[in-house]
Amino acid sequence: MIRKIFRKKPSSKGKIDTFLEKYNLPKGYLAINRRMITMGVFVGLFWAFIPMPMQMLAVMAITPFIRFNVPVALSTVWLSNPLTMPPMYYIEYITGNFILGREGLSDIELTMSWFTKNWDAIVVPLYVGTAFYSIVVSSIVYIALNWLWIASVKSEREERKKRSWGKITRKK
């Protein structure tokens, strides 16, 4: 399924290959296979849940250490955008309070003075919840994508076998 979308078309050396050679970058950063795509989604989701500026730079900083599809990871980081950040971070804060067994703050105001006054009560539960979602949700999505990809390949093979078996029986 997904392999058909990304299937390579035979062509001469393209702009991407020239770019990769010019800057001596491994082709693995753009590889389209199960391991690279699922790892790219994992890395992107991991950093997307962390409340920090410049999450895309964090993705780029780990490229020498972990092999993954960089464009997929960078696009997955954008799941946490200015529209989705407030609900994501609020849910992480609530989850962090639940894990720590705390009540949390009830009189929330969206002012800078309130945030500065309550920063100590916010930051620990927020990052505990962040660690939970970064590790658990990213891992679950990674495992699910791997399973879906493998199941898709198996079903494609079975369909191909059925079609080829039908051709063989018709010839006889």
Neighbouring CB atoms inside 10 A of 43's CB total 25
| 53 φ/ψ sector (left φ>0, alpha ψ -120 to 50, else beta) | beta
Per-residue pLDDT of 74-126, as tens digits, reads 999 999 888 998 899 889 999 999 999 988 887 877 788 988 888 888 899 99
48 Cβ partners below 8 Å, 6+ apart?
Answer: 55, 76, 77, 78, 79, 80
| Count of alpha carbons within 13 angstroms of residue 78, beta-carbon side | 5
Q: What is the pLDDT of residue 2?
A: 58
Give the chain's radius of gyration (CA, Å).
22
Q: What is the pLDDT of residue 160?
A: 86
> Quick one: pLDDT band at residue 138, thresholds 50, 70, 90?
very high
Burial 125-139 (b: 16+ CB within 10 A, else e): bbbbbbbbbbeeebe
Does pLDDT of 23 surpass 80? no
Does pLDDT of 16 surpass 80? no
pTM for the structure as a whole? 0.79
Q: What is the pLDDT of residue 108?
A: 77
Q: What is the mean predicted confidence (pLDDT) over 132-147? A: 96
Q: What percent of the chain has pLDDT over 90?
A: 48
